């Protein structure tokens, strides 16, 4: 078992930091614990912005004339396009239809394709975005920034705005999904996760954590590779907390089981659905509504103290037939402990990242 062998390279002395980050800091840390390995070692505000802002590029619909060459995007024109609908939200929603907006984007009334646009709003924007807001605040606090909540709010604004700009990418049709995201669910997540009781529930009861990718720039063609924001939650099934029901979600939703050993190492196996493409819902009403076309994905995950060390995922989508990520803290090259990834099927992309760097370097087709 490759993943089982990888974990043996992790330094044995690293322990989980449950409470405060230092003796002089009386604040509790729920989601950022400054662990020197795994996804916790990679966590920083720029990583949040890149993985979250460009995560939609995992879907093949977004490989148009610009592909994933993020340094060539017309951000100004795309941003103005989103702003035009944002600055007149009442008019935009009225034209789209108030009940249609509420019943598809806001209230969880159906899981059918004509009305399930609320699903990512609740799970990714409210829970995921809210957790990122609190984790980023904790990151700024741990690293000595004054007014860490203000810094975190600024990071979230940049992350969520970039995400909507890339998702909309110049579309001039009437759309309302970014109104729901930016005006309702993103602020709701920040508000909820400002509360310690909410954070304690998700952190301690559900073991919610960020298990995102390791983005790199492909030096061969200039594309952004291996980006994506993902989360894990684990619900204990036994009193000893050695078995958990787990879910890994982002642009896929997988469910499975986790076995945790006494030293904090854990192995998870999961399977479920991956968003392969977004298609337009067949409607005669005004405005564009997209729904997801799903395919299969399965994965094996190895973590320590809920910080992901390595993952191996397979899918039926040709672009992501296999994806292996090994995070910092597993291998060491002199004073450095880089992360690695490989993904593809017939064509392959390799990459390497370093701790706290926003982008690594890759090579491939």
**CB count, 10 Å around CB of 220?**
11
pLDDT band, residue 7 (cuts 50/70/90): very low
pLDDT of residue 288: 72
Q: What is the H or E stretch that residue 16 is in?
A: none
Sign of CA dihedral 236, 239, 241, 242: negative
The whole-number average pLDDT for the span 35-59 is 94
Q: How much of the chain, in percent, has pLDDT values that exceed 70? A: 88
Give dist(CA 8, CA 205) in Å, integer.
28
Over 70: is that where the pLDDT of 15 sits? no
Asked if residue 121 lies in contact with residue 106, where contact means CB atoms within 8 angstroms, the answer is: yes
The whole-number average pLDDT for the span 99-111 is 82
Q: How close are the terminal C-alpha atoms of the chain, in Å?
A: 28
pLDDT of residue 70: 94
Give dist(CA 229, CA 209) in Å, integer.
11
Phi, psi of 104 (to 5 degrees): -105, -35
Whether pTM > 0.75 for this model: the answer is yes
Q: How much of the chain, in percent, has pLDDT values that exceed 90? A: 61
Q: 264: phi > 0 → left, psi -120 to 50 → alpha, else beta; which?
A: left
Give dist(CA 180, CA 81) in Å, integer.
16
The H helix count followed by the E strand count for the chain is 12, 13
Give dist(CA 228, CA 265) in Å, integer.
24
Q: Take residue 340 and report the two structure tokens written for it.
A: 């690695």
Over 70: is that where the pLDDT of 248 sits? yes
Q: Take residue 112 and report the two structure tokens written for it.
A: 């059918």
The whole-number average pLDDT for the span 18-43 is 79
Q: Take residue 211 and report the two structure tokens written for it.
A: 């298990």
Q: 280: phi > 0 → left, psi -120 to 50 → alpha, else beta; which?
A: beta
Asked if residue 27 lies in contact with residue 136, where contact means CB atoms within 8 angstroms, the answer is: no
Give dist(CA 128, CA 192) in Å, integer.
11
Phi, psi of 258 (to 5 degrees): -120, 135
Give dist(CA 18, CA 207) in Å, integer.
12
- According to DSSP, residue 198 is labeled H
Over 60: is that where the pLDDT of 89 sits? yes
pLDDT band, residue 103 (cuts 50/70/90): confident
pLDDT digits (tens, 9 = 90+) for 198-222: 999 999 999 999 999 999 999 999 9
Domain range summary for the chain, segments of one domain joined by +: 2-6+37-364
pLDDT digits (tens, 9 = 90+) for 284-315: 566 677 777 888 999 999 999 999 999 999 99
CA distances from 82 to 68, 88, 167, 169, 206 (A): 20, 11, 10, 9, 35
> Helix, strand, coil % (nearest 5) of the chain?
35, 25, 40
């Amino acid at each position: 078992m490759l993943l089982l062998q990888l974990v043996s390279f992790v330094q044995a002395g690293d322990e989980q930091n449950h409470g405060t980050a230092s003796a002089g800091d009386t604040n509790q840390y729920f989601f950022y614990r400054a662990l020197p390995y795994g996804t916790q070692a990679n966590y920083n505000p720029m990583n949040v912005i890149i993985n979250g802002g460009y995560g939609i590029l995992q879907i093949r619909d977004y490989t148009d004339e610009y592909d994933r060459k993020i340094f060539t995007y017309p951000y100004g024109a795309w941003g103005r396009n989103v702003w035009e609908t944002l600055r007149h939200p009442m008019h935009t929603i009225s034209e789209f239809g108030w009940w249609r907006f509420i019943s598809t984007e806001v209230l969880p009334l159906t899981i059918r394709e004509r009305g399930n646009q609320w699903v990512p709003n609740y799970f990714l924007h409210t829970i995921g975005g809210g957790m990122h807001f609190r984790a980023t605040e904790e990151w700024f606090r741990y690293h000595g920034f004054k007014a860490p909540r203000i810094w975190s709010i600024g990071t979230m604004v940049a992350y969520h705005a970039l995400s909507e700009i890339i998702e909309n990418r110049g579309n001039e049709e009437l759309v309302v999904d970014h109104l729901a995201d930016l005006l309702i669910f993103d602020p709701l997540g920040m508000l909820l996760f400002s509360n310690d009781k909410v954070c304690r529930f998700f952190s301690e009861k559900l073991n919610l954590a960020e298990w995102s990718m390791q983005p790199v720039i492909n030096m061969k063609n200039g594309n952004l590779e291996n980006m994506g924001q993902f989360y894990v939650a684990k619900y204990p099934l036994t009193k000893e907390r050695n078995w958990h029901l787990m879910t890994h979600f982002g642009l896929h939703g997988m469910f499975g089981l986790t076995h945790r050993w006494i030293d904090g190492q854990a192995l998870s196996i999961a399977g479920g659905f991956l968003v392969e493409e977004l298609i337009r819902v067949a409607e005669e009403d005004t405005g564009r509504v997209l729904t997801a076309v799903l395919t299969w994905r399965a994965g094996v995950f190895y973590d320590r103290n809920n910080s992901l060390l390595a993952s191996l995922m397979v899918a039926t989508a040709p672009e992501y037939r296999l994806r292996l990520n090994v995070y910092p803290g597993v291998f060491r090259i002199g004073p450095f402990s880089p992360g690695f990834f490989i993904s593809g099927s017939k064509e392959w992309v390799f990459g390497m990242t370093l701790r706290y760097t926003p982008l690594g370097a890759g090579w491939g087709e």
